[in-house]
């Protein structure tokens, strides 16, 4: 089967042996397609993942072989995520499920940018769902990234009707803004790129150029889907005292959050990383019922063009790449 692997400074398509269950429980699934996540870009660009790694985890797939106690059957089209919390450790008991060691060690194998993937019985039991019939495979691929947004919103624990600013309107900012609105918040989005500002506006959510944001807007919360120094400045100038800054992006260059602002202004700065099985269920429902609209967000690439998908994403030429693996 074909797989795309990290090969120093490029992503190469190569061949590896076909997958078989060989007596294991779980399923072999044919990957219809896989979304390209910002975290894949970071792992590739910052050389965090080794050569030979198959990236990709936002898969939509069809079951081709199965031995499972679940009701899934051969031919079922499914969505799944890649990590599963143990539910028993100290992290899990405190709700920090994405810090759980089991969560971090579980994965889909070899990775989403592959013609076939092995899903364990645990995946099938906890994080796999039938693809809703009213969604296309590209739309369904937002199941996992939207789950991450749902988790962030729940963690921020905001009152209904809170004024929330979303900084950064890439695909995650667009998902986050819509999900916040679905959770009952008053949302404003901002970015520097006119086409992204317009994209959110067209979805009926207030959206403006970060440079035109009036100062001291007194937002109850700011969601940071960008980690640039300037974005942090905008956040600190527009958060009300006592408000919450939700960090949802890595920040390779910035100097971090200002200690004295956190102290004197009683700010809560919190992170949110990856989704729990419950967040994923909520995500699928938001996609199914159309409260989060993901039409026209993705640009579709063939597996052989995956390098271009990475390049176009890195250079902000597209909002979101979807690698279509099965024709
Ligand atoms: Zn992702
Ligand atoms: Zn755990």
Task: State pLDDT tens for residues 133-173.
Answer: 999 999 999 999 999 999 999 999 999 999 999 999 999 99
pLDDT of residue 236: 93
- Mean pLDDT, all residues of the chain: 96
For ligand 2, the distance from its centroid to the CA atom of residue 88, given in whole angstroms, is 5
Summarised one tens digit per residue, pLDDT across range 67-109 is: 999 999 999 999 999 999 999 999 999 999 999 999 999 999 9
Kindly state the DSSP code that residue 151 receives in the 8-state scheme: H
Question: Which listed ligand is nearest to 35 at the C-alpha?
Answer: 1
For ligand 2, the distance from its centroid to the CA atom of residue 105, given in whole angstroms, is 11
Q: Is the pLDDT of residue 242 over 80?
A: yes
pLDDT of residue 256: 77
Question: Which listed ligand is nearest to 88 at the C-alpha?
Answer: 2
Q: Is the pLDDT of residue 5 over 80?
A: yes
User: At 152, phi and psi to the nearest 5?
Assistant: -60, -40
Tokens, residue 219:
């937002």
Question: Which listed ligand is nearest to 106 at the C-alpha?
Answer: 2
Handedness of CA 154, 155, 157, 160 (dihedral sign): negative
Domains defined for the chain, CATH in brackets = 2-142+294-324 (3.90.180.10), 149-271 (3.40.50.720)
Question: Which listed ligand is nearest to 41 at the C-alpha?
Answer: 1
Tokens, residue 239:
């958060």
- Buried-exposed string 276-290: b where 16+ CB fall within 10 A, e elsewhere: bbebbebbbebbbee
Using pLDDT thresholds of 50, 70 and 90, give the confidence band for residue 254. Answer: low
For ligand 1, the distance from its centroid to the CA atom of residue 72, given in whole angstroms, is 24
In angstroms, the Cα distances linking 118 to 22, 31, 77, 139, 320 are: 11, 10, 15, 22, 25
Helices (H), the chain: 38-45, 90-93, 101-105, 121-126, 137-140, 143-156, 171-182, 194-202, 229-238, 259-264, 277-288, 306-314
pLDDT of residue 258: 86
pTM to 2 decimals?
0.96
């Amino acid at each position: 089967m074909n797989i795309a692997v990290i090969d120093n400074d490029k992503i190469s398509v190569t061949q590896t042996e076909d997958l078989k269950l060989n007596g294991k429980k779980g399923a072999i699934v044919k990957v219809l397609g896989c979304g390209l996540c910002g975290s894949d870009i970071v792992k590739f660009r910052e050389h965090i993942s080794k050569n030979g790694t198959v990236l990709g985890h936002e898969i939509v797939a069809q079951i081709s072989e199965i031995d499972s106690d679940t009701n899934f059957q051969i031919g079922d089209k499914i969505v799944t995520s890649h990590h599963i919390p143990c539910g028993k450790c100290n992290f899990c008991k405190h709700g920090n499920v994405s810090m759980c060691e089991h969560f971090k060690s579980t994965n889909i194998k070899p990775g989403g940018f592959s013609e076939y993937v092995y899903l364990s019985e645990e995946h099938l039991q906890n994080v796999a769902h039938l693809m809703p019939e009213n969604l296309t495979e590209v739309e369904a691929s937002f199941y996992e990234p939207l789950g991450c947004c749902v988790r962030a919103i729940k963690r921020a624990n905001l009152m209904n009707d809170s004024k929330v600013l979303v900084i950064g309107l890439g695909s995650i900012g667009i998902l986050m803004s819509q999900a916040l609105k679905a959770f009952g918040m008053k949302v404003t989005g901002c970015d520097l790129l006119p086409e992204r500002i317009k994209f959110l506006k067209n979805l009926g959510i207030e959206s403006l150029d970060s440079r035109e944001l009036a100062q001291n807007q007194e937002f109850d919360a700011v969601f940071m889907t960008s980690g640039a120094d300037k974005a942090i400045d905008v956040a600190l100038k527009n958060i009300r005292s006592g408000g919450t800054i939700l960090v949802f992006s890595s920040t390779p260059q910035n100097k971090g959050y200002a200690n004295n602002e956190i102290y004197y202004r009683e700010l809560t700065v919190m992170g949110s990383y990856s989704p729990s099985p419950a967040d994923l269920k909520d995500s699928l429902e938001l996609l199914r019922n159309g409260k989060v609209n993901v039409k026209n967000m993705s640009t579709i690439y063939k597996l052989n063009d995956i390098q271009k998908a990475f390049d176009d994403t890195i250079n902000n030429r597209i909002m979101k790449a979807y690698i279509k693996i099965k024709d």
